[in-house]
Amino acid sequence: MSPQDKVSRREFLTKTSLAASTAVAGAATGQVGAQEAEEYVQSDYSVRAKALVAVLTKKNLINPAEIDEVIEFYETKVGPHIVARSWVDPEFRERLLSDANAAATELGIERRRDLAAVANTPQVHNLVVCTLCSCYPWAILGLPPTWYKDAPYRARAVIDPRGVLKEFGTELDEGVEVRVWDSTAEVRYVVIPERPQGTDGMTDGQLQDLVTRDSMIGVEKLKSPV
């Protein structure tokens, strides 16, 4: 794939915003239903969240730096810790895939009832989406990225998962099966990415540093560090 074919995350979000604007405009001209347009409008939670944070900060009710620390902890520590442990401990991996809620508590994570883990293999690649709204394992991965909550991703991930993956720079061989998992309020999925080659001698901390949020959603494959 040439550099021109790869769509950056920023470009993906730009396309998303354009689609939302088109939907709203279409509602005004009768080209799309008002309910569909409203869905696009309501998907822009980030604008509302920023406004709320600004108001609460001005009133000295919250400290944005502390909020950032909490989000960073979940996005870069909790999920990667689970993944790295599953790479080096086959028995833990088996327990994780069988009962992710129970396995997560072994690592000091608060007991939950809605977590499920699915593992990527050379034959299977997993992709997580919430087609209804934006259900997401925030207790493991922190806040979801903006594009995850957006209607175009939610629709296209189901209809054309390989196309979506390609736009994120992830191209799979034709023989690899793509499985799309729909998160809900009852069950929220986390992907256990494949362990990159060339990491046999790495420490647990070094392995954790390789794991990204996007790889645990399934839009990214981890690359070898060498």
Pick the catalytic residue from 134, 183, 215, 224. Answer: 134
Q: Which pLDDT belongs to residue 211?
A: 95
Q: Say whether 133 is catalytic.
A: yes
**Does residue 199 surpass a pLDDT of 80?**
yes
Q: What is the mean pLDDT of residues 37-41?
A: 45
Q: What is the mean pLDDT of residues 52-71?
A: 85
- Two tokens, residue 223: 């690359």
Q: Say whether 134 is catalytic.
A: yes
Torsion of CA 143, 148, 151, 154, to 10 degrees: -130
217 closest CA partner among 160, 141, 158 = 141
Pick the catalytic residue from 8, 43, 98, 135. Answer: 135
β-bridge mates for residue 178, sequence order: 125
- Two tokens, residue 189: 């999925």
pLDDT confidence band for 161 (50 / 70 / 90): very high
What is d(CA 122, CA 56) in angstroms, rounded to the nearest whole number?
A: 47
Summarised one tens digit per residue, pLDDT across range 42-57 is: 445 667 878 888 898 8
Summarised one tens digit per residue, pLDDT across range 23-33 is: 334 433 344 44
What is d(CA 119, CA 192) in angstroms, rounded to the nearest whole number?
A: 5
Q: Say whether 130 is catalytic.
A: yes
Higher per-residue pLDDT: 35 or 126: 126
Higher per-residue pLDDT: 182 or 12: 182
Higher per-residue pLDDT: 201 or 39: 201
* CB-based contact 129:153 (threshold 8 Å): yes
Q: What is the mean pLDDT of residues 110-115?
A: 86
Q: Where are the alpha helices (DSSP H) in 43-117?
A: 45-58, 64-73, 79-88, 90-98, 100-105
Q: Say whether 8 is catalytic.
A: no
DSSP SS3 for 124: strand
**Total residues found in the chain within this entry:** 226
Q: Delimit the domains of the chain by residue range.
A: 71-217
Q: What average pLDDT does the structure give for the chain?
A: 83
Q: Which pLDDT belongs to residue 134?
A: 86
pLDDT confidence band for 178 (50 / 70 / 90): very high
Could you please state the CATH topology (level 3) that the domain comprising 71-217 is classified under: Nitrile Hydratase; Chain A (3.90.330)
pLDDT confidence band for 40 (50 / 70 / 90): very low
Q: Which of 15-29, 46-60, 159-173 is predicted least confidently?
A: 15-29
Q: What is the mean pLDDT of residues 96-116?
A: 91
**Does residue 96 surpass a pLDDT of 80?**
yes
Q: Which pLDDT belongs to residue 139?
A: 84
What is d(CA 141, CA 38) in angstroms, rounded to the nearest whole number?
A: 28
Q: What is the mean pLDDT of residues 89-94?
A: 97
Q: What is the mean pLDDT of residues 143-172?
A: 94
Pick the catalytic residue from 43, 130, 183, 215. Answer: 130
Q: What is the mean pLDDT of residues 125-132?
A: 96
Pick the catalytic residue from 8, 21, 98, 133. Answer: 133
What is d(CA 137, CA 144) in angstroms, rounded to the nearest whole number?
A: 8
Q: Which pLDDT belongs to residue 77?
A: 82
